[in-house]
């Protein structure tokens, strides 16, 4: 075999090794989920599972602490986990954390469920996960669908299906010790090192294949959200979405009030577009949005109509109610402090604008015919009854019902066309 053959076979071996290398896992990957489950969260977890499978990770560990979230996003995460492309370990952490509502379904879909000390899991009633039609029949349908889904997950992963049904129907919740005792969770781990030690040698099913995890002393690769996910995640926060919507409405209002300003209109348009993105991700209540818009209309009417504060009171009431009703589920709601801040600021601004409008309406005119009423001038010629007067550096034709001598002071009583009706000003 000559050198050319040796080089050729060497390249083939190297390429084959590069292709086959991912089949031999040498690391675990870790991501963190903290907060409500949204479509952004679902996309982040889905991408993390795909990346872990592509990189040949031994398993993907998801550190989770969530109060719940949207049903549609939760179902998407479960579906991705059930593809069995890579072993997924849900680790409910830190101490004091929980996996409530949507977190229960996601935990049940994982290959392994671990919990840190002083954590809990439960309260998975679907009403807290979505909203929508609140009729008794619809709630029953959604509940039955959720029960069937979680029982299917329990059957596939070998977990307690009876408790899972109670978590959905009765919103029961248990601690980490009770979860392990009742076959809900697999193990309790103090930290990641303890978790990896306990995972070593644990047998899991990936599709039709049975395999044992090898995690003792393995390399840990932790992945954090990149800027795209962070931006989308922040925008999807109910408080941020609410602030963006209000600022967008005010920006467009200022632009329409002062056409050509450009800056308020551009900024307001950008804020509204970002708010629309967030609102299509979040479970919004149409009645809440309509009440907020009604509040803005009432504030505007207060400027035009003297209602002695009744329209402002109505606007404040509508804005508070609309803000509280804006989102359908308790998991996604606007902070009361944010609502109060915007309501007070809105009411104060429109009351100030109303005061300025009333002051302008009541102030004496300074231009046109009304602006000449009551102005003082000096007779340039004798008025008997017609003559000329000087006023504001201008010479006007004037008429008087009494004889006025040249140089005497006069005051304007009326204006007819370009002729001033004046009278002699008394000392």
Catalytic residue list: 101, 141
The token pair that represents 62 in the structure block: 């998801």
The answer to whether residues 378 and 409 touch, using CB atoms and an 8 Å cutoff, is yes
Minimal CA–CA distance to 189: which of 253, 257, 118?
A: 118
CA-based torsion, 331, 47, 150, 284: positive or negative: positive
């Amino acid at each position: 075999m000559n050198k050319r053959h040796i080089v050729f076979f060497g390249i083939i071996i190297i390429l084959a090794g590069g292709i086959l290398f991912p089949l031999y896992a040498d690391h675990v990957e870790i991501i963190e989920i903290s907060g409500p489950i949204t479509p952004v969260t679902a996309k982040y977890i889905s991408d993390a599972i795909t990346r872990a499978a592509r990189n040949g990770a031994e398993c993907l560990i998801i550190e989770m602490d969530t109060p719940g979230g949207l049903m549609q996003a939760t179902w998407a995460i479960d579906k991705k986990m059930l593809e069995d492309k890579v072993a997924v370990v849900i680790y409910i952490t830190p101490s004091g954390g929980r996996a409530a509502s949507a977190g229960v379904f996601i935990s049940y879909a994982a290959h392994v469920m671990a919990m840190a000390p002083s954590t809990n899991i439960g309260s998975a009633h679907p009403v807290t996960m979505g909203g929508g039609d609140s009729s008794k029949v619809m709630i029953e349908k959604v509940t039955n669908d959720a029960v069937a889904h979680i029982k299917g997950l329990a059957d596939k992963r070998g977990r307690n299906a009876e408790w899972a049904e109670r978590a959905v129907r009765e919103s029961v919740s248990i601690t980490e010790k009770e979860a392990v005792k009742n076959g809900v969770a697999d193990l309790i781990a103090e930290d990641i090192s303890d978790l990896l030690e306990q995972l070593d040698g644990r047998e899991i099913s990936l599709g039709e294949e049975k395999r044992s995890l090898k995690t003792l002393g393995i390399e840990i690769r932790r992945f954090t959200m990149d800027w795209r996910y962070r931006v989308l995640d922040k925008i999807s926060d109910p408080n941020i979405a609410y602030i963006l919507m209000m600022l967008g409405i005010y920006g467009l209002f200022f632009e329409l009030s002062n056409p050509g300003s450009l800056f308020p209109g551009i900024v307001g348009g950008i804020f509204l577009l970002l708010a629309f993105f967030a609102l299509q991700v979040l479970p919004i209540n149409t009645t809440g949005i309509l009440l907020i818009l009604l509040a803005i209309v009432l504030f505007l009417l207060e400027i035009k109509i003297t209602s002695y504060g009744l329209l402002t009171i109505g606007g404040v009431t509508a804005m508070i109610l609309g803000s509280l009703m804006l989102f359908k589920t308790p998991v996604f709601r606007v902070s009361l402090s944010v609502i109060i801040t915007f309501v007070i600021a809105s009411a104060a601004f429109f009351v100030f604008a109303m005061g300025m409008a009333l002051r302008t309406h009541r102030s004496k005119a300074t231009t046109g015919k009304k602006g000449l009423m009551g102005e003082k001038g000096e007779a340039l010629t004798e008025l008997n009854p017609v003559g000329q007067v000087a006023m504001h550096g201008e010479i006007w034709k004037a008429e008087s019902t009494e004889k006025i001598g040249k140089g005497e002071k006069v005051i304007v009583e009326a204006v007819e066309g370009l002729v001033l009706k004046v009278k002699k000003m008394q000392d």
